[in-house]
Amino acid sequence: MRIIIVGGGKVGHTLAEQLIEEGHEITIIDRSEVVIQRSMDELDALTIQGSGVSAGTLTEAGVQQADIVIAVTISDEINMLCSLLSKRLGAQYTISRIRDPEYMKSLSFLKKELWIDYAINPERNTALEISRILRYPFSGGVETFARGQVEMMDFRLGPEDGLIGIRLQDLEKRRPDLPRVLYCLVERDHQAMIPKGDFVFEEQDRVFVASDIKTITSYFRALGKNTERVHKVMIMGGGRIAYYLTQMLLEMKVQVSIIEINPEQARTLSEAFPSANIILGDGTDRELLVSEDIGTYDAFITLTGRDEENIMAGLSARQNHVRKAIVKSNRDHYADMLTALGIDSILSPRQVTANTILRAVRTRMNAQIAQAVQRMYRLMDGQAEALEFIVHKDDPFVHKPLKNLRFRPNALLGVIVRGSQVHVPGGNSMLEPEDRVIVITLDSGVTALGEVIL
């Protein structure tokens, strides 16, 4: 596909890397000479220095033949106007990053009037992901499929879980007390693997499991994990992510405290959320955290724009016995170090945004294909992907036992959702029309179920 990316910053650069890897023809537009030079040096893409709201620049980029125009500059207004102008000039589809909460209130109207096909709010998406993580404080992350019927989450395997040294094929016999879930992926020594029957669990494995909400909650309860929801949360940094997250948490009846160093921002938050506790101060000040009884909080979330401060504050919270610390960081290479120090929930809004847009691109690319990707999540820094497909009546693999089908190497057909029922399939299971299927693959770029079931 021919794709134009307007805005070559962190999000645009990450997105371009992933789309180029999947074989798309990419053009990057940015005002900055430095950004354009970096793109020229590091990416196999056409680069144009100019404005995304200039008809001349867009025409030079080939907007008339563009399948998708993605506007991810730092300005909501430029992104929206770029979408409108691109559509008027002939682009087939537009994606626009819109972050301001005021615009979100009238998003449906703006999308219609400005011809925006798909709008993404990275701060709200990040806040939503944090709210999911808070449901299971022991997990590093939670993803949902099949309209919320299936959840996939990961946990770090310890001696107390009673799984170490057991082969996967022997698990049902050795641990009959455990509800049946899908063991869909394991990270060991920074490598992703799809566990098969002879796989043996080891301490410190990062294990991904999936099932319906009731079963997966019972599974973790059987492991002895604390499945109680959090009741009291402290947030450091009062930006847009904190704004959206506070909205969500207050609706969940969670007590929220926000530490914000900027007096004007603190005042704005106090007016927006009178039921929240707004603290004017520096969240990295250990004495302030102690004076606010940080140890009584169930979770501490760092959301400032400075990665190092987020990390230090998160570590301080863990030292003060906070059960869950969630750190915002756009530096992926910090992840292993932070996990070793007890912080296993690290969120990158840049990666959340890129992954969401990539999912939209794949869906658009397969808009006329019955087997198109419905949902997609990149796992373990892109080493693996979890994909959702819908089975159709004309698919050649319908009504055939799975054991008689041939599957793509490095892929696992994991969960089948049929109506309101969630199944972990066996060899005799069959796919039926309208089933929703969750697939785990170590290969990127899979766009159709027919690429998994060969």
Structure tokens at 384: 């693996």
- The rounded radius of gyration (Å) of the Cα atoms in the chain is 23
- Domain 2-120 class, CATH top level: alpha beta
* pLDDT > 90 fraction of the chain, expressed in percent and rounded: 46
Cα–Cα dist 144/127, whole Å = 15
Cα–Cα dist 275/384, whole Å = 41
Q: How confident is the model at residue 274 (pLDDT cuts 50, 70, 90)?
A: very high
pLDDT digits (tens, 9 = 90+) for 352-363: 888 788 878 877
Confidence (pLDDT) at 6: 96
Q: Is 269 helix (H, G, I), strand (E, B) or coil?
A: helix
Confidence (pLDDT) at 370: 46
Confidence (pLDDT) at 336: 63
Confidence (pLDDT) at 359: 76
165: left (phi over 0), alpha (psi -120 to 50) or beta: left
Place of tokens 């793509």: 408
For the residues 155-173, what does the mean pLDDT come to?
A: 91
pLDDT digits (tens, 9 = 90+) for 19-33: 998 889 999 999 999
Residues forming beta bridges with residue 119, ordered by sequence position: 96
Structure tokens at 304: 């400032």
On the CB side of 231, CA atoms within 13 Å amount to: 2
Q: Does this model's pTM top 0.85? A: no
Mean model confidence pLDDT for the chain: 88
Q: In what order do the strands lie in the sheet with 2-6?
A: 46-49, 25-30, 2-6, 68-71, 94-97, 118-120
- Domain 126-131+230-347 class, CATH top level: alpha beta
Give strand ranges (E) for 113-228: 118-120, 142-145, 150-156, 182-188, 191-193, 206-212
130: left (phi over 0), alpha (psi -120 to 50) or beta: alpha
Residues forming beta bridges with residue 188, ordered by sequence position: 191
Calculated CA dihedral for residues 299, 303, 309, 313, nearest 10 degrees: -10
Closest by CA position to 20, among listed 35, 5, 38: 5
Domain ranges for the chain, please list them.
Answer: 2-120, 126-131+230-347, 366-451
Confidence (pLDDT) at 35: 94
pLDDT digits (tens, 9 = 90+) for 47-101: 999 999 999 999 999 999 999 999 999 999 999 999 999 999 999 999 999 988 8
Question: Does the structure show a pLDDT above 60 at 179?
Answer: yes
State the amino acid at position 223 in one-letter form. Answer: L
* pLDDT > 70 fraction of the chain, expressed in percent and rounded: 95
> What is the dihedral sign for C-alpha 189, 190, 191, 192?
positive
pLDDT digits (tens, 9 = 90+) for 340-394: 666 767 888 888 888 788 878 877 765 544 456 777 777 887 789 888 888 888 8
Q: In what order do the strands lie in the sheet with 150-156?
A: 142-145, 150-156, 206-212, 182-188, 191-193
Higher-confidence residue of 334 and 23: namely 23
For the residues 253-277, what does the mean pLDDT come to?
A: 94
pLDDT digits (tens, 9 = 90+) for 431-454: 999 999 999 999 877 878 888 987
Confidence (pLDDT) at 177: 92
Q: Running DSSP on this structure, what letter comes out for residue 430?
A: B
Cα–Cα dist 211/199, whole Å = 20
Cα–Cα dist 156/139, whole Å = 8
Highest mean pLDDT among 106-115, 147-156, 261-270, 303-312: 261-270
Domains 2-120 and 366-451 share a fold: no
Higher-confidence residue of 421 and 444: namely 421
pLDDT digits (tens, 9 = 90+) for 107-142: 888 888 888 999 988 888 889 888 888 877 777 777
pLDDT digits (tens, 9 = 90+) for 49-60: 999 999 999 999
For the residues 136-153, what does the mean pLDDT come to?
A: 79
Cβ atoms of residues 40 and 126 within 8 Å: no
Q: How confident is the model at residue 332 (pLDDT cuts 50, 70, 90)?
A: low
Closest by CA position to 328, among listed 99, 125, 32: 125
State the amino acid at position 125 in one-letter form. Answer: N
Closest by CA position to 50, among listed 92, 7, 79, 96: 7
Cβ atoms of residues 338 and 322 within 8 Å: no
On the CB side of 157, CA atoms within 13 Å amount to: 20
- The length of the chain, given as a count of residues: 454
On the CB side of 440, CA atoms within 13 Å amount to: 22
Q: Running DSSP on this structure, what letter comes out for residue 436?
A: E
Closest by CA position to 441, among listed 247, 182, 107, 192: 192
Q: How confident is the model at residue 41 (pLDDT cuts 50, 70, 90)?
A: very high
CATH 1.10.510.10 fits 366-451, yes or no: no
